[in-house]
Amino acid sequence: GQQVMQIPQYQHVQEGEDFTTYCNSSTTLSNIQWYKQRPGGHPVFLIQLVKSGEVKKQKRLTFQFGEAKKNSSLHITATQTTDVGTYFCAGPGASGTYKYIFGTGTRLKVLA
């Protein structure tokens, strides 16, 4: 079945360092979404990418959708302690299934 993998599974960084998580799908995606889950919280939608090669920025966060629409990345510049959490990518399942398949997640810890 369709799988969405993320690497790394865990990442510890010093505050101020950059961070990147990579997302790879076994199938081509019509779009990809990114979510952030704070410790003890619930996933919160960050952004969606639709076009091949698309790049979007939200302040220190840069999101990219691969040319083949099978991979994506999230890069955080100069991490802060507020960036702590688990970052998930999610891709849609087959048309009409009304489902999003979540990646395995990357847990980010920022050391002050």
Partner 1 sequence: DTAVSQTPKYLVTQMGNDKSIKCEQNLGHDTMYWYKQDSKKFLKIMFSYNNKELIINETVPNRFSPKSPDKAHLNLHINSLELGDSAVYFCASSTGQDNSPLHFGNGTRLTVT
50 near partner 1, rule: CB under 8 A: yes
In angstroms, what is the minimal distance from the CB of 10 to partner 1?
10
Q: How many CB atoms lie within 10 A of CB 65?
A: 24
Q: What is the DSSP letter of 17?
A: -
User: Which of 21, 25, 33, 64 touches partner 1 by CB under 8 A?
Assistant: 33
The string of DSSP codes covering 24-42 is EESS--S-EEEEEE-TTS-
Structure tokens at 72: 């994506």
98 near partner 1, rule: CB under 8 A: yes
Using CB under 8 A as the criterion, which residues of the chain lie in contact with partner 1 when the complex forms? 30-31, 33, 35, 37, 41-45, 48, 50, 86, 88, 90, 92-93, 95-102, 104-105, 107
